[in-house]
Amino acid sequence: MTESTHLTHLDADGRARMIDVGHKAETSRVAVASGRFVTTRKVLTLVRADNLPKADVLATARIAGISAAKKTSELIPLCHQVPLSSVKIDFRLGEDTIEIEASAKTRGQTGVEMEALTAVTIAGLTLHDMVKAVDPGATLTDVRLDSKSGGKRGHWTRGD
Amino acid sequence: MTESTHLTHLDADGRARMIDVGHKAETSRVAVASGRFVTTRKVLTLVRADNLPKADVLATARIAGISAAKKTSELIPLCHQVPLSSVKIDFRLGEDTIEIEASAKTRGQTGVEMEALTAVTIAGLTLHDMVKAVDPGATLTDVRLDSKSGGKRGHWTRGD
Amino acid sequence: MTESTHLTHLDADGRARMIDVGHKAETSRVAVASGRFVTTRKVLTLVRADNLPKADVLATARIAGISAAKKTSELIPLCHQVPLSSVKIDFRLGEDTIEIEASAKTRGQTGVEMEALTAVTIAGLTLHDMVKAVDPGATLTDVRLDSKSGGKRGHWTRGD
Amino acid sequence: MTESTHLTHLDADGRARMIDVGHKAETSRVAVASGRFVTTRKVLTLVRADNLPKADVLATARIAGISAAKKTSELIPLCHQVPLSSVKIDFRLGEDTIEIEASAKTRGQTGVEMEALTAVTIAGLTLHDMVKAVDPGATLTDVRLDSKSGGKRGHWTRGD
Amino acid sequence: MTESTHLTHLDADGRARMIDVGHKAETSRVAVASGRFVTTRKVLTLVRADNLPKADVLATARIAGISAAKKTSELIPLCHQVPLSSVKIDFRLGEDTIEIEASAKTRGQTGVEMEALTAVTIAGLTLHDMVKAVDPGATLTDVRLDSKSGGKRGHWTRGD
Amino acid sequence: MTESTHLTHLDADGRARMIDVGHKAETSRVAVASGRFVTTRKVLTLVRADNLPKADVLATARIAGISAAKKTSELIPLCHQVPLSSVKIDFRLGEDTIEIEASAKTRGQTGVEMEALTAVTIAGLTLHDMVKAVDPGATLTDVRLDSKSGGKRGHWTRGD
């Protein structure tokens, strides 16, 4: 992937714009993003109850993340409206952390990095909301793109 | 501040609910949250152009964060609808980082932690959107509550 | 139409996801749904005034239903975002009932059943809102899909 | 409760308006609504898996209903914007039916009947979305207000 | 009414913010705004059919304007979220013009000028949408505040 | 361009509908709209500070207009959902006026006139919001379509 040398969302005068993607090819595009919710062991014990029939914690965060991915262009001012063909969110529970991974897919003229990142962050903030009475100090950290494919610039993987 | 020992957004059967705040006192409530956008020196050089008359990068992220704070109850499923009396977002530019701080205020029956956190994360994701053609590897990290005041549990400051 | 034997919106672990429609063919798709708003003769007398130049009852319910059809993917968490090529809502007034029928069309990779059903229910709830001071006991009933066409599974008609 | 003899959302010329509630007293208001989702025994067997650790069906419908209650004034054109102090949704599984009950509370100048009804219908439509590949003929029926309290007209219970 | 000498939505550094209204008194506030939709005699002949039982033109524009008033804080970035106690829109048909007047009311800490202006403009744009196949050159003009009352600065009327 | 002789958004009974565009060709479509914000010399002096590093006035209005263009189908009841490939807003400062011009582009089955007009009006109302403490009498005027291209009816330019 070749990177740009300027901020593409600004015109020559530095003014914000929604860049023109009308000339770009429609291709299948996938993006994967992740983040880590850092809290306490006590919270993890309570959340693990979600593997029992009882608790809705992870389901609530998952639905929030999926719904938010569909709202990305309302939240990020210069994002294009992208109809997603799929969104998926996974959680991996650690001792005092919850790893969040989201993937988004579309067939279109522009990528879905922001959709995957939005799914991760809103899922993470929803976890925060649900545990904040127990741990107000929880942190959402390392929210970032892991990989993307599709489009002129081709495949990109973190660390390559 | 005393902390809860259970997840208050779940009922006795573990089912999600919007908890009843109808009995709580209306008090002035303030929350401050922060996060850090980690990118490259090159991006910071481009963003600093925002101190010149030309560029809209920080203004776009600020407006996105303020607008998102007002949408918090649409994004976080169990959040109450809180009319904010004020939202403010500040950026501090480092060598290869942008520190983001947001404060939210209301007079009401429930706190505005999630509003301040939502402002920080959407401002951060908007920065990501604007620089991703130059630095697809940028990371939003350490998103957390710094302090809150108002309500029965009183003042809370990180690290106290 | 062949029916599925499992809940397609859940993955193998039972977790909610927005299913991947990226491989599906783009075809013309139509769905028709209906419901019945059951109220009192007195209300129907008041609503029939809508055939006179004066009253906005049915027009308000119609606009609400059309607007809601366009918001379906915001309301139903696992629905795909579908740009509708047409939405149409008809009312048929009985003695103490209003029959509601909605049709939705698109050209895309997924059906528009939920869009037609959403149009019917929100039109029905809007009727409820407008008559509730006169008849708080009104009921919206028999909300269901009548037919759909397009897509791999072909045509489906209720009762076939 | 005394009932009105005219449609209060229309002015003297029959034109729609958002009626003025500025003079009404702020009181605690509660509304309970219900509906019934009628499907097949096979679907109920699949949904009951939700009592196992695996499935997100009811959690997804519950979150959808709660979120929709908060959007009521966006969906029903003449509804006032009401900040809810609580929303709760319960499901009761039968042989081939799912009973849906929602309660909404606020302290304000206008009732929350429409919020409770919106929670029921969107929870019901979300169930429809999740089972429609197995049972496209499912029906949402008997959506109605069960009781309400608060406000000038006092308590109302269905059947009184 | 005394007027400000600086732009109150900017802080001392010129940065946008949602100004703090937490200290302001809650008073009854009313704002009236108006605008004029200028089109052709032919369009007015078609719209006047709205006085017959048949046409939904003005009802559609009225519902759009009322709905938009409730969305003002989503559209205007620095507007506070204001629960409206009433919105009303009137049209006056001329030879080739439609005069639009909207009033908005609330009891709160900030005025509702922007809500009234938003109702007028979206009602006007909806008229444009409905007549544009006949008259693509229609113009929405003279959109302005006519009067406002409530709040520290007291009553203001255009032309005083 | 040939013009219609009837209101295409109404059916034969005069009822509102979202017209069927499913049969229309997908073509590149562009629309340009403009309007004029009329205020005082004093306000223009304050806004011109936006050419200095300090002020966010025009950036805020520009972001509001771009965001609103993406929300057009939520605001205008019978508008189709159109994914925009580009939105651009320009301001030209006069002595006591700000000229606003917006262009919108898509590739689709229906035009983007309403999107360009919505961008202009919401940018204009945002200017109003930001200057209203200094000039409550500001007016948004001459909001109109300047040109459009694409679609069966071909190119249209105001005044041709």
Chain F residues close to A11, C-beta within 8 Å: 88
Per-residue pLDDT of chain D (160 residues; tens, 9 = 90+): 456 777 777 777 778 888 888 888 888 999 999 999 999 999 998 888 754 444 588 999 999 999 999 999 999 999 999 999 999 999 999 999 999 999 999 988 889 999 999 999 999 999 999 999 899 999 999 999 999 998 777 789 998 7
Chain B residues close to E73, C-beta within 8 Å: 70
> What is the rounded distance in angstroms from the CA atom of residue B141 to the CA atom of residue B121?
9
Answer whether residue A51 shows pLDDT above 70.
no
CB contact under 8 A, D87 and B18: yes
**F83 reaches E (C-beta below 8 A):** no
Residue D105 to chain B, least CA–CA distance (Å): 8
Residue F160 to chain E, least CA–CA distance (Å): 11
**D42 reaches E (C-beta below 8 A):** no
Q: ∠ CA A71-A73-A74 to the nearest 5 degrees?
A: 65
**C80 reaches F (C-beta below 8 A):** no
Closest to A59 (Cα-Cα) out of A92, A91, A35: A91
Q: ∠ CA A80-A81-A84 to the nearest 5 degrees?
A: 120
Chain C residues close to A149, C-beta within 8 Å: none
Higher pLDDT, F7 or A98: A98
Q: What is the pLDDT of residue D50?
A: 55
Residue D93 to chain C, least CA–CA distance (Å): 17
Answer whether residue F97 shows pLDDT above 70.
yes
Closest E-chain CA to F59: E16
Most E-contacting residue of D81, D82, D85 (CB-CB within 10 A), to test interface: D81
- The arithmetic mean of pLDDT across residues E45-61, rounded, is 73
Nearest to F133 among E3, E128, E143 (CB): E3
Answer whether residue E152 shows pLDDT above 90.
no
Residues of C marked active site are found at: 129
How many Cβ pairs closer than 8 A exist between chain A and D?
Answer: 24
Chain A residues close to F93, C-beta within 8 Å: none
CB contact under 8 A, F56 and B51: no
Closest B-chain CA to E14: B59
Closest A-chain CA to C83: A83
How many Cβ pairs closer than 8 A exist between chain B and D?
Answer: 47
Q: What is the pLDDT of residue B53?
A: 40
Closest to E22 (Cα-Cα) out of F136, D21, B88: B88
Neighbours of chain A (3+ CB pairs under 8 A): B, C, D, F
Residues of A marked active site are found at: 129
**E71 reaches D (C-beta below 8 A):** yes
> What is the rounded distance in angstroms from the CA atom of residue D15 to the CA atom of residue A143?
51
Residue E49 to chain B, least CA–CA distance (Å): 40
Q: How confident is the model at residue F53 (pLDDT cuts 50, 70, 90)?
A: very low
Chain C residues close to A70, C-beta within 8 Å: 73-74, 81
Question: Which residues have a Cβ under 8 Å from the Cβ of C141 and sit 6 or more positions away?
Answer: C35, C36, C37, C38, D141, D142, D143
ipTM of the prediction: 0.94
Buried b / exposed e across F47-83, counting CB within 10 Å, b at 16+?
bebbeeebbbbbbbbbbbbbbbbbbbbbbbbbbbbbb
Chain E residues close to F130, C-beta within 8 Å: 7, 9-10, 78
**B134 reaches D (C-beta below 8 A):** no
CB contact under 8 A, F81 and C84: yes
Domains and CATH numbers, chain A: 27-149 (3.30.70.640)
The span from the first CA to the last CA of chain E, in angstroms, equals 10
Q: Are F144 and F158 in contact (CB under 8 A)?
A: yes
The span from the first CA to the last CA of chain C, in angstroms, equals 10
Answer whether residue F63 shows pLDDT above 90.
yes
Answer whether residue A52 shows pLDDT above 60.
no
Mean pLDDT of chain B: 89
Nearest to D142 among C52, C139, C145 (CB): C139
- The arithmetic mean of pLDDT across residues B64-70, rounded, is 97
**F80 reaches A (C-beta below 8 A):** no
C89, β-bridge pairs: C102
CB contact under 8 A, B86 and E21: yes
**E6 reaches B (C-beta below 8 A):** no
A47 to B19, D48, D119: CA distances (angstroms) = 18, 22, 26
Closest to D65 (Cα-Cα) out of D135, D147, D120: D120
**C14 reaches A (C-beta below 8 A):** no
**C158 reaches D (C-beta below 8 A):** yes
Nearest to C81 among A62, A83, A89 (CB): A83
Q: ∠ CA A104-A105-A106 to the nearest 5 degrees?
A: 135
Q: What is the pLDDT of residue A50?
A: 55
Chain D residues close to A53, C-beta within 8 Å: 50-53
Q: What is the pLDDT of residue F38?
A: 97
Neighbours of chain B (3+ CB pairs under 8 A): A, D, E, F
SS3 A152: coil
CB contact under 8 A, D16 and E62: yes
Q: What is the pLDDT of residue C103?
A: 96
Residue A107 to chain C, least CA–CA distance (Å): 7
Q: What percent of chain B has pLDDT over 70?
A: 92
B20 burial (CB, 10 Å; 0-12 / 13-18 / 19+) is middle
Q: What is the pLDDT of residues A92-103, one digit of tens each?
A: 999 999 999 999
**B59 reaches F (C-beta below 8 A):** yes
CB contact under 8 A, B86 and E11: no
CB contact under 8 A, C46 and D6: yes
Question: Hey, CA dihedral for F94, F97, F103, F104, is it positive or negative?
Answer: positive
CB contact under 8 A, A134 and B16: no
**F92 reaches A (C-beta below 8 A):** no
Q: ∠ CA E3-E7-E11 to the nearest 5 degrees?
A: 130
Residues of B marked active site are found at: 129
Q: What is the pLDDT of residue B7?
A: 77
CB contact under 8 A, E53 and C56: no
F135 to A71, B30, E75, E153, F96: CA distances (angstroms) = 35, 31, 21, 13, 11
> What is the rounded distance in angstroms from the CA atom of residue F158 to the CA atom of residue F142?
13
Q: What is the pLDDT of residue E139?
A: 98
**D7 reaches E (C-beta below 8 A):** no
Closest to A57 (Cα-Cα) out of B16, D53, B118: B16
Q: What is the pLDDT of residue C52?
A: 44
Residue F132 to chain B, least CA–CA distance (Å): 18
Neighbours of chain F (3+ CB pairs under 8 A): A, B, C, E
Helix residue ranges per DSSP H, E15-157: 41-48, 57-70, 72-75, 113-131
Closest to A43 (Cα-Cα) out of B9, B20, B143: B9
**Residue appearing with tokens 């127990």:** A134
Q: What is the pLDDT of residue A93?
A: 93
Nearest to E16 among F10, F56, F117 (CB): F56
> What is the rounded distance in angstroms from the CA atom of residue D123 to the CA atom of residue B95?
49
Joined together, the tokens standing for residue F41 give 């010399």
**E129 reaches C (C-beta below 8 A):** no
Q: What is the pLDDT of residues D68-108, one digit of tens each?
A: 999 999 999 999 999 999 999 999 999 999 999 999 999 88
Chain F residues close to B127, C-beta within 8 Å: none
Chain B residues close to F64, C-beta within 8 Å: 63
Q: Tell me phi and psi for residue F105, to 5 degrees.
A: -135, 150
Residue B135 to chain F, least CA–CA distance (Å): 22
Nearest to F86 among A15, A18, A74 (CB): A18
Most D-contacting residue of C117, C131, C147, C158 (CB-CB within 10 A), to test interface: C117
3-state helix, strand, coil in chain B (%, to 5): 30, 30, 40
Low-confidence ranges of chain C (pLDDT < 70): 1-3, 50-55
Q: Are D56 and C14 in contact (CB under 8 A)?
A: yes
